[in-house]
Amino acid sequence: MKNYKIAVLKGDGIGPEIVNEAIKVLDAVADKEGFNLEYNEYLIGGSAVDVFDNPCPDETIKGCLNSDAVLFGSIGGPKWDNLPKEKRPETGLLKLRKSLGLFANIRPAIIFDELVNASTLKPEVIKGVDLEVVRELTGGIYFGEPREKTENVAFNTMIYTREEIERIAEVAFEEAMKRKRKVTSVDKANVLEVSELWREVVEEVHKRYPLVELEHMYVDNAAMQLIRNPKQFDVILTGNIFGDILSDEASMIVGSIGLLPSASIGGKVGLFEPIHGSAPDIAGQGIANPIATILSAAMMLNFLGEENGAKRIQNAIKEVLAKGYRTKDIASFDAKEVVTTEEMGSLIAEHASK
């Protein structure tokens, strides 16, 4: 029987609640599909600060590197907000991504027909949306040096090398080949030199993917087009800061931030996590939506080559939603029953093991 080692990083806030439900579903699927998942837990974020005085201890990085994949919850919360920058939970996550070489973040936004009413946009605009944001994750302005803040002036550096652009563009074109074969590269080439290079390199990489259609779009236009007509997009390729903003925008097309999964790849192991944070405002209340994390677990199974298991999870979620079960964040007038985090996890696990 195939055995996969999964590093589990539950993190803070709602992290443990939602990851527990994803594990419940994974176990149900593993049982049916005949593979085994071996989980090892490590601390990250605020909970690691509390124990090790370090938001990303070496033991956590080592544990992840010795695994086949990482399942991640969320980090952060008001308890750790006033710590110095190097001890903040968010710094821990950035360090983890960098240490694992995770330069590509893939964020699909698929609308479930059952949830068209959960979005603030009109049903005819969002029905059938199926897009994916491929965001560069370890470069750009978030990491650029020099950076400095003095009393009266502060600056950051937006920097990309040819190699960094090339490898993220390859990920986007490869994704497009598995999908509808269109890449929209988003930049600000009318203003930024770094975007001029971005465009040049993306065009070069495109030559190796003649079957994929490539278009370029300025980020301000992309932000507008995402709301105007999201169905025009297949794969959106973009840098770190633009991708950060656009993927959160894309989440609201889908209805709730609690529905969007992500995969971070590029290194030896992939990391799979919901796009939302630790939601301290609802932590411990049993109302967090576990679907983003459960869909992240499905992406993890795809990454491990267990495509049937991934399909089982996606179908189970569709069936549960079609029956009218909703967590509080997606409960609209069409909800037949509002369920807790744990109930939603159990329902999906039950349907996935049919």
Kindly list the catalytic residues. Answer: 142, 188, 220, 244, 248
C-beta closer to ligand NAD: residue 139 or 261: 261
Nearest distance, CB of residue 283 and ligand NAD, angstroms:
9
Distance CA 155, CA 145 (A): 10
Nearest distance, CB of residue 74 and ligand NAD, angstroms:
4
C-beta closer to ligand NAD: residue 18 or 321: 18
Q: Which tokens hold the place of 267? A: 């290194």
**Whole-Å CA distances, 218 to 142, 227, 272, 320:** 20, 15, 29, 39
Crossing angle, helix 341-352 and helix 15-33, to 10 degrees?
10
Q: Which tokens hold the place of 135? A: 């965001």
Cβ distance 40 to 241 under 8 Å? no
C-beta closer to ligand NAD: residue 288 or 320: 288
Nearest distance, CB of residue 257 and ligand NAD, angstroms:
5
**Secondary structure letter of residue 282 according to DSSP:** T
Nearest distance, CB of residue 192 and ligand NAD, angstroms:
25
Which of 232, 221, 9, 219 lies closest to 99, judged by CA?
9
Binding site for ligand NAD (CB under 6 A): 14, 18, 74-77, 90, 93, 257-258, 273, 276-282, 288-289, 292, 329
Nearest distance, CB of residue 19 and ligand NAD, angstroms:
11
C-beta closer to ligand NAD: residue 14 or 106: 14
C-beta closer to ligand NAD: residue 11 or 140: 11
The DSSP string of 193-236 is HHHHHHHHHHHHHHTT-TTSEEEEEEHHHHHHHHHH-GGG-SEE
